[in-house]
Amino acid sequence: MGDRLILTADDENIKAILATQFGSYGKGPQFRKEWKDFLGLSIFTTDGEMWHDARQLLRPQFIKDRVSDLQIFETHVQVLIPLLAGPANGAKVRADDLFFRYTLDAATDFLLGGSVNSLHQPNSDFAEAFTTVQHVQGLIARAGPLQGLVPKKKFHAGLKVLNTFIDKYIDQALALSPEELEKRTKSDEGYTFLHAIASYTRNRAVLRDQIVAVLLAGRDTTAVTLSWLFYELSKNPKVVAKLRQEISTHVGLSTDKTPSYSDLKNMRYLQHTLNEILRLYPVVPYNVRVALEDTTLPHGGGPDGSEPIAVLKDTPVGYSTLVMQRRPDVYPTASTEFPHYLEFVPERWDTWQPKHWQYVPFNGGPRICIGQQFALTEMAYTVVRILQRFERIEERGDG
């Protein structure tokens, strides 16, 4: 309870933690212990050689050929859109809940080749178990030395549901010989992310841990960003109109016209809109690393905090990309050319580019989000398909 904790929103400190002093900071053994039941020894819990091996295992699965296959998104967005339209009586819908179910369905389909179909079944065992496990895991992480007091009965029951579901697909993948797995390619029917990594390892624990880790990131990253984006679009009808105009130019507004990967990348205003929402609402607003050795940070020492500061081994260092990306001193003074930094204005990206370490919505350095392009592609595709169907976005509040 009395341990030292360093908090920072300084871009030079964040750069040091994530890149220039990468070897001095990591997840640490305590994080691994707290998250092991849920995420095992996955890319999100390990350091050093074990982390490097996990990264090398997963990286090939996020190359352009994999993330540019848009059919999975199309399958599930066709279920999402009628639900966003709401019931015939005009009752409100919770778009954020629908986005979380949509991204869970797409992620399980991409990873395993079988969706949990939570859009069709809001109370599916898997979706409820996943939410429960995440909730309790958050309590465990925040409880620190009091985590033994956190009730874990529902947590372990939820883990059993998750593991049973995933084990079924691991069994199917491992039923194929290494030679059969190696011969399979992306173009083969039924080829999945799991098949790809099973061709490199037959260790069930490794397969399970990496799948759960990527599933966690694959659901939350996109769902949270889409929720914030459509909240801002509900307050900015001019942005909606400009997006629809760009969609009309590049793809067409008819719902039978689907965008290609190159269409998404060529829609400049769409890309600027995603940049802007990630500037105001970065994917992981707060994160923690632990000093793996006695080390330093560039700023925080001296009378005014501008000098280096010592960081002893095992000291947790929390950094906030949300606070850093909302610091007034990292932006030009508000003017007719540059709107106030707290306003949602995608047009600012027409003429302005942030300094690299002052805009890191997906983190940076060697641990930069491995699924960044997958998430951005899913977001862009989803926005286009929704705005082809709807002319305006409304936020009705709680009334």
Identify the CATH number of the domain in which residue 182 sits. Answer: 1.10.630.10
φ/ψ (deg, to 5) at 334: -60, 135
In this predicted structure, what is the pLDDT of residue 188? 66
Question: Does residue 222 sit within a domain?
Answer: yes
223 alpha carbon, distance to own chain's centre: 8
3-state per-residue secondary structure call for 35-86: HHHHHCCCCCCCCHHHHHHHHHHHHHHHCHHHHCCCHHHHHHHHHHHHHHHC
Question: Does residue 12 sit within a domain?
Answer: no
Alpha-carbon span 59 to 40, nearest angstrom: 19
In this predicted structure, what is the pLDDT of residue 87? 84
Tens-digit pLDDT profile for residues 124-173? 899 999 999 999 999 999 888 888 899 999 999 999 999 999 999 999 99
CA torsion, ordered 288, 292, 298, 299, to nearest 10 deg: 50
Question: Does residue 21 sit within a domain?
Answer: no
Question: Does residue 198 sit within a domain?
Answer: yes
In this predicted structure, what is the pLDDT of residue 395? 83
For the chain, what is the mean pLDDT?
94
Query: How many domains, the chain?
Result: 1
Alpha-carbon span 238 to 269, nearest angstrom: 12
Alpha-carbon span 299 to 112, nearest angstrom: 45
In this predicted structure, what is the pLDDT of residue 68? 83
Question: Does residue 10 sit within a domain?
Answer: no
Q: Where are the beta strands (DSSP E) in 2-45?
A: 6-8, 25-26
* Type of residue numbered 156: H
CA distances from 353 to 160, 195, 239, 357 (A): 46, 40, 20, 11
Do residues 64 and 248 lie in contact, with contact meaning Cβ atoms separated by under 8 Å?
no
Q: Which domain holds residue 382?
A: 40-285+320-389
In sequence order, the 6+-apart residues with CB closer than 8 A to the CB of 73 are 106, 377, 378, 381, 382, 385
In this predicted structure, what is the pLDDT of residue 183? 80
Element (H, E) at 144: none
In this predicted structure, what is the pLDDT of residue 399? 43
Can you give the pLDDT of all 399 residues of the chain as single tens digits?
Answer: 457 899 999 999 999 999 999 999 999 999 999 999 999 999 999 999 999 999 999 998 888 777 888 999 999 999 999 999 988 777 888 999 999 999 999 999 999 999 999 999 988 899 999 999 999 999 999 888 888 899 999 999 999 999 999 999 999 999 999 888 888 766 566 779 999 999 999 999 999 999 999 999 999 999 999 999 999 999 999 999 999 999 999 999 999 999 999 999 999 999 999 999 999 999 999 999 999 999 999 999 999 999 999 999 999 999 999 999 999 999 999 999 999 999 999 999 999 999 999 999 999 999 999 999 999 999 999 999 999 999 999 887 654
* Type of residue numbered 67: V
Q: Which residues pair with 6 in a beta bridge?
A: 317
- Would you tell me how many other CB atoms lie within 10 Å of the CB of residue 46? 22
Do residues 197 and 110 lie in contact, with contact meaning Cβ atoms separated by under 8 Å?
no
Do residues 208 and 166 lie in contact, with contact meaning Cβ atoms separated by under 8 Å?
yes
Question: Does residue 33 sit within a domain?
Answer: no
Question: Does residue 65 sit within a domain?
Answer: yes
Question: Does residue 101 sit within a domain?
Answer: yes
Q: Which two tokens stand for residue 382?
A: 């989803």
Do residues 195 and 180 lie in contact, with contact meaning Cβ atoms separated by under 8 Å?
no
